[in-house]
Structure 1
Amino acid sequence: MKCPGRSPGTGESNGGAAVIENAVGPSARPPWWRTAALAVAGLLAVAACGGGATQSGGGSQEANGSPITIGVLDDQAPLTAVEGAEMRVNTDLAVAQINSSGGIHGHKVNVVFADPQADPSKAVALAQQLVQQNNVDVLVGAVLSSECLGVENLVARLQIVYVSSTGCASEDFTAKQCNQYSFRLTPQGQQVNIPLSSYIVKQYGTKWSIIYPDYAFGQSQLAAYKVGMQAAGGALAQIIPIPQNETNMTPYISKISTDGSVNGLINTEVGADLVRASTTIAQFNLNAKLPIVGVFGKERFAGVYPPSLTGDIGQSPELSDAAKENSFDVAYHTAFKGQLGKEDPAIINTLGNDKAVPGDLGYEAYTAITALKLAMLSSNFTGKSDTSKLISAMSKLKAKQSADFPGGDFQMNASDHQGATTTYIAKINGQQEDVLATIAPDKLPPIGTCQAK
């Protein structure tokens, strides 16, 4: 679809969504990838031309100014299939809402998607291409911590704002190598592990076993839980590293002590490894022998918790199902369902079809875009030349629970560019999540002492 008087720019479709075809080659992508990009391009074209329902955004005027382009690194490798699908749907949703409400002070938001395929070197190369060849104004995304850390180093040289989205959970992103251009909204590491550790030590005991993925993210989680346990008066009595993409979990899960020497198990596996680890834990009937901590979010299980997860405890800024008393969250979940129906069938199937939920993975992607929207509006951002103004606005960003942050309140730490959100500790009860504790953003501990300069 073409808007009257417009022609597509390099690397973009008429509606503003595009795939970098020469980045990794069409044959390397899932078959739905180009189809999905074009489908979303049509959606954005309708929004940019004045179609679509009015949503939370930049105002009611028509978006007819020069476009603002966001480059999104959206991994679609098997390892990151769920994270990538959630990033795609929720990015599409947030951008469509912005454009249907007039864009950013009349400037339509375009999106250029690129698939690093869970490869850190490709993530850095694609980020550089998005900036230098596709001329994007802001970078978003990359799922794996190793990808995010590489892109974070790159943007300091390219001098462009970078906001992490779904994933990117290594503490190091904001605890050790923060810089003025990089931002993360969702609390990670000891920000959430200290409160969670305090809760489980008080409820179950001081000695814990932990399984973790043996790469940057998992090592960061291990370090954070060590700090959390120490702060809570507990300890990690058994530490079991598991290689990334391990298909046979039995040799590792079988090591977990059930002789009374530990009070529970902390499971920090993610993605496909989480599903395999949880399945093996159930096969060994460990759920009946030990409390399991760390597994949370229906989106990780195609929208339906396996029965074996009942009793597991986790933390999240967003519950899997919207609380009826939270009108903002109800509206968000409804909009998510509507957007999901416009996506490629492969994405819909990955997330569980009619059982699909945004969960915390989707919420991270959605709020990455809504935070940028708020900062762009307040700074009158029109493009990369306004980067310094956008950095200042992002650094000071604070929001109450709203359509932009439906799960709860938000505040950015100006010193390290690490966000804090309302966080829920909850227990899985069948298909329900029973909230055990609610922690306000200002009650979360800092992630470190890094200074973004």
Structure 2
Amino acid sequence: MATLTGALALAAVAAAPLAQAQGTIRIGELNSYKTVPAFLGPYKKGMELAIEQINAAGGVNGKRLELVTRDDNANPGDAVRAAQELLQRDKVDVLCGTFLSNIGLAVADFAGHNKTFFLASEPLTDKIVWADGNPYTYRLRSSTYMQVAMLIPAAVKMHKQRWALVYPNYEYGQSAAATFKRLLKQAQPDVQFVAEQAAPLGKIEAGNVVQALADAKPQALFNALFAGDLAKFVRAGTQRNFFQGLDAVSMLTGEPEYLDPLGAETPTGWVVTGYPWYAIHTPEHDKFLQAYQARYKDYPRLGSVVGYNTIQSLAAGIRKAGSTQTDALVQAFKNLPVDTPFGRIVYRGIDHQSTMGEYVGRLAVKDGKGIMTDIEYVDGAKLQPSDEQVRKWRPASAG
């Protein structure tokens, strides 16, 4: 009898972790935390806030959410290994995350080959949902095409013929530059692209880049640099008076992660995409802002919103699917509505791209700090190419 009792006790102990696991939904997330801390620190806080709120409200389908994160070292090979670890060792139910576009593409390819659901939260490259799209990958953040399309109306209104471009020399920057040239040429056929500088990510020689652009005597500038590269470029351009009289449109520069460090050196007048959290007054955003500030005693960055929306999207999809089973999630995310601090977004069935938009405005300096003025929220749903064009760009096998 003692032997039987002991065996039953051991069985009960062994079953306990399984029962506990069955009561949770494990979200596996990987990202370049060490490489891009300015964006991904707030991003992680946004995820944690969403999980706390959802769990406090009873979880999803009666189960609590649990977040398991890994650093991908900004390396595609390491990212794929991290994804494998999350699935095989950590037994996560879904994958999400990534920041750099080349990393996002690597994990999306892994998800496609392994038939695993993956929500790409941040990488911007169009290839994720178009040329390299697969049935198992969805993307939250507005794409390179969408962000460039937000800036084209302002670029056209500048009525400048001679444009220069500067961007980081990897997938995101290359895609942004190519899209800008294509869309502006369509809108303004007489435009000329007189200079183009593709700087190594994180290793820009800003003085040389500014001089090469200045030598071409452009009338306007398209910029896709961010983080430390942006700060170095702005400082070098300011010191050389390169920006005086030069119109500019710039991706990402209005995001607090990249705008705040510029301080008084902020180049005024640039038309940018970004996140002016201090100037958004909607019920949805006010609710998010108050909760975030109460939780962290800090203001949110755009990364905070992206992280928050990532978890809210997964929760909505799992709730609709009734499970974390891959095929059910893939179907549930098609035309899935999600309420966010920016209002309701929808994950398009045709290309798995969300309609999350961005704020567009002009840069100014106030009290020694860079801010966005004349802001307007541009709904991502209004920036999509036609369904016919999407079908040409996205493989039929991608669903």
TM-score category, normalised to shorter length = 0.7 to 0.9
1:413 maps to 2:348: yes
Letter in 1 for 2:269: G
Q: How many angstroms apart in 2 are the aligned matches of 1:392 and 1:181?
A: 10
Q: State the Cα distance separating 1:236 from its structure 2 match.
A: 2.8
The counterpart of 1:152, out of the listed 108, 129, 153, is 108
Shift of 1:423: 3.3
Structure 1 counterpart SS, 2:208: helix
Deviation at 1:141, TM superposition (A): 0.8
Work out which of the residue numbers 369, 374, 380 in structure 2 matches 1:441.
380
For 1:9 and 1:309, the matched residues in 2 are separated by 55
Q: 1:368: Cα distance to partner?
A: 1.5
| Matched letter for residue 394 of structure 2 | C
Give the residue type in structure 1 aligned to 2:157.
Answer: K
* 2:205 matches 1:248: yes
1:89-125 C-alpha deviation (Å, 9 max, x unpaired): 1111111111111110210001111011211111110
- Residue 182 of structure 1 aligns with which residue? 137
Question: 1: CA distance between counterparts of 2:16 and 2:153?
Answer: 54
Instruction: Using the TM superposition, give the Cα deviation of residue 397 of structure 1 relative to its aligned residue in structure 2, in angstroms.
Output: 1.1
* Separation of aligned partners in 2, 1:235 and 1:103: 55
The question of whether the paired residues in 2 share the 8 Å contact of 1:297 and 1:320 is answered with: no
Q: Report the 3-state secondary structure (helix = DSSP H, G, I; strand = E; otherwise coil) of the residue aligned with 2:212.
A: coil
In 2, the alpha carbon distance for the partners of 1:235 and 1:411 equals: 37
Shift of 1:75: 1.6
Q: 2: distance between equivalents of 1:246 and 1:221?
A: 19
d(CA) in 1 for partners of 2:25, 2:163: 48
Aligned length: 371
Q: 1:239 aligned to 2:196?
A: yes
- Judge which range, 418-427 or 140-149, deviates more: 418-427
Please list the CA deviations of residues 299-341 of structure 1 after superposition, one character each: whole Å capped at 9, or x if unmatched: 224477444332221124x4332523x1211221222223335
- 1:209 matched to 2:164: yes
Post-superposition shift, 1:437? 4.4
Partner SS for 2:33: coil
**Structure 1 residue 82: deviation in Å?**
1.3
Deviations 1:257-316 (A, max 9, x none): 377x42211110123222222222222222323123212212224477444332221124
- Say which SS state the counterpart of residue 128 (structure 1) adopts: helix
Task: Give the SS at the match of 1:186.
Answer: coil
Query: Which runs of structure 2 are paired with 1:8-407 in the superposition (5 Å)?
Result: 66-77=23-34, 79-166=35-122, 168-233=123-188, 234-257=191-214, 261-294=217-250, 295-302=253-260, 305-316=263-274, 318-324=275-281, 326-341=282-297, 354=298, 356-359=299-302, 361-381=303-323, 383=324, 386-399=325-338, 404-407=339-342
State the 1:133 CA deviation: 1.4
My pick for the range that moved more, 232-241 or 296-305, is 296-305
Structure 1 residues 302 and 296 mapped into 2: Cα distance closer, same or farther (>3 Å)? Answer: closer
Structure-2-length-normalised TM-score: 0.85
Distance 1:136 1:170 in 2: 26
Deviation of 1:197 after TM superposition, in Å, equals: 1.7
- Larger strand proportion, structure 1 or 2? 2
Shift of 1:231: 2.3
- The structural deviation recorded for 1:370 is 1.0
SS at match of 2:197: strand
- The answer to whether the 8 A contact 1:244-1:273 is kept is yes
Cα 1:136/1:322, change in 2 over 3 Å: farther
What SS class does the counterpart of residue 255 from structure 1 fall into?
A: helix
What amino acid maps onto 1:108 in structure 2? R
Q: Secondary structure at the match of 1:134?
A: coil
Please say which structure displays the higher CA radius of gyration: 2
What CA RMSD, in Å, does the superposition of the two structures yield over aligned residues?
Answer: 2.6
Q: How far has the Cα of 1:363 moved from its partner?
A: 1.9
Contact 1:165 1:365 in 2 (8 A): yes
Matched to 1:293, the amino acid is: V
- Structure 1 residue 388, shift from structure 2 partner: 1.3
Q: CA deviation at 1:226?
A: 1.5
Q: Residues of 1 paired with 2:277 and 2:75: CA distance?
A: 29
In the alignment, what sits opposite 1:345? Answer: none
Give, in angstroms, the shift of residue 154 of structure 1: 0.5
Q: Decide whether aligned partners of structure 1 residues 396 and 240 sit closer, same or farther in structure 2, where only a CA change above 3 A counts.
A: same
Distance verdict in 2 for CA 1:228–1:436, change over 3 Å: farther
SS in 2 for 1:321: helix
Greater helix proportion: 2
Kept in 1, the 8 Å contact 2:163–2:221? The answer is yes
Q: Do the aligned residues in 1 keep the contact of 2:259 with 2:371 (CA within 8 Å)?
A: no
* C-alpha distance in 1 between matches for 2:376 and 2:177: 23
Matches of 1:120 and 1:306 in 2, distance apart? 36
Percent of aligned positions that are identical: 22
Amino acid in structure 2 at the alignment position of 1:253: V
d(CA) in 2 for partners of 1:8, 1:116: 32
Question: What is the rounded CA distance, in whole Å, between the counterparts of 1:247 and 1:392 in structure 2?
Answer: 43
**Given the superposition, is the C-alpha separation of residues 363 and 258 from structure 1 closer, same or farther in structure 2, using an over 3 Å criterion?**
farther
The more displaced of 415-424 and 123-132 is 415-424
CA contact (8 A) 1:194 1:232 kept: no
Q: Which runs of 5+ in 1 are unaligned?
A: 17-64, 342-353
